[in-house]
Structure 1
């Protein structure tokens, strides 16, 4: 499988100009974090340094900015775990820090501490209560079509404030869950507690094929409904806005991405989650 980069942070823009990489990395570049912990799963963190506006953006340069030697600690206030780093050849960058002790629980706070060179980067998040996906279907406009969209249904709890993110993963084609395009939802906008929502494929950078917002016959589609915090919603909405406005989040058009990382940039987020797998049929 060709490697992918999921949307994100190795490519975040800074205003610095690259002369010597080692100098930039320690003095001018920012530590970029994409970290998460889901209910029922362990923490995962991607870590890199930001890339200058003057740099060439390609897979080789991305690898030059990966950070593999940081100490990353996650705590729930009672137990503490130092994350390990592993090589995942299906990702670009192919290195991820992961936990194996602290499993995410709804309602708990999780602190993140990153120690790298002379820097300390910190954040805290809470895992919201998971909301169950009632159904997920693959539907086509015409029966003769070979592509379609996913439609999901779930119930938004009455008298509770919730923020959601829809993410999908196509088995054998995408190694990670990708946030759906226009899939960040605030229940303030719901007309009823019974929610029906179209799901569009999300955007990958350096994809194997040209981006399309729909799914295809024969795809095995993993559909995930995440509950998230307001900080996460704001981050992902700001990311999506850059794609819409400039079509290239590497170079933000008129604003900076939101962040809840102290001493760096990016996101540390807790998610509730519910997943359904759709097995579509390929026409003979």
Structure 2
């Protein structure tokens, strides 16, 4: 996650042949801690802590490695138990180590799995700061009914679209985030990965399912939205709370508007007091479909 120090929009007006030089004094802002924490239904909590990086800096593997915060005191509570997480590391395919905090396997007496309908408090002591946040794993109120595919149409015989039917209860205030996996590869979030029930409240509705994307790579929009014939696709359909929805709604918008000089400046709405980032709970339903060749 990168930290934006300022947003500047240049409007070029054609008319009288005149130019004015504008000098902007860039003020360096203090680095902040960045938290990415999740607790899923049926899984242990996992938290990553790092320091923000300058928006204009050239990010290298060494910078990423040095941005991780080590030896933090991280606890998660479900109201009945409080468990101190332990720091671990894992290597990526790019040869960069990732550091994260999860359950201490040497002290399982206070460890617990995420459960739908419960709230979880995250507390972090790191680098002289105390951070905290609360999230809920909601009951799966927005339900996934069916999932099917159809041909892309026209002369395109090698690609297909996937659609799902979703039912929303009469009560307002339900939120979803989704991921897809092709052929047992890793789950990737949608380009716009969250939606709410503001318009569809209390109804059953059909919606096209766009493939998840790796936002660290460029996206081919000529191919976006389609799956290939022969793909086995698994949908990870997650009910989330309002704060988690707000974080990813604003983060997705910031990503899709990058490079657009006419886009409105976006402040990503985190829910961790004293830091950037979020602590989110996920109630998960999986559904798999194979598109025949």
Q: Does 2:273 match 1:271?
A: no
Range that drifts further, 190-199 or 142-151: 142-151
Of 115, 118, 127 in structure 2, the residue corresponding to residue 105 of structure 1 is 115
CA distance in 1, matches of 2:150, 2:98: 34
Q: Please show how residues 221-236 of structure 1 align to structure 2 within 5 Å.
A: 221-236=233-248
Maintained 8 Å contact 1:35/1:269: yes
**Mean Cα deviation higher: 212-221 or 196-205:** 212-221
Look at both structures and tell me which one has the larger radius of gyration over its CA atoms. Answer: 2
1:134 aligned to which of 145, 160, 164:
145
Quick one: distance in 2 between partners of 1:71 and 1:77?
18
Tell me the residue number matched to 1:13.
4
- What residue number does 2:167 align with? 155
- 8 A Cα contact 1:17 1:53, kept in partner: no
In 2, distance between residues paired with 1:14 and 1:79? 39
Task: Specify which structure has the higher proportion of helix.
Answer: 1
- Which deviates more from structure 2 when the two are superposed, residues 74-83 or residues 206-215? 206-215
Over the aligned positions, Cα root-mean-square deviation in angstroms equals 2.9
Higher relative contact order (Cα pairs below 8 Å, separated by 6+ residues):
1
In structure 1, the partner of 2:33 is 31
Report the counterpart of residue 128 of structure 2 in structure 1.
Answer: 118
What is the TM-score with the length of structure 1 in the denominator?
Answer: 0.79
Is it true that 1:262 corresponds to 2:264 in the alignment? no
Counterpart of 2:211 in structure 1 is: 201
For residues 121-163 of structure 1, the C-alpha deviation after alignment (integer angstroms, 9 at most, x for no partner) is: 1101111102442222343313853233321122212235311
Cα separation, 2, equivalents of 1:103 and 1:184: 24
For residues 201 and 132 of structure 2, the distance between their equivalents in structure 1, rounded to whole angstroms, comes to: 38
SS in structure 1 opposite 2:112? strand
Q: Deviations over 1:246-271 (max 9, x none)?
A: 259xxx96122111110101111112
Aligned in 2, Cα 1:172/1:191: closer, same or farther, shift over 3 Å?
closer
Q: Which residue number corresponds to residue 65 of structure 1? A: 67
Return closer, same or farther for 1:129/1:144 CA change in 2, 3 Å cut-off: same
Name the counterpart of 1:45.
47
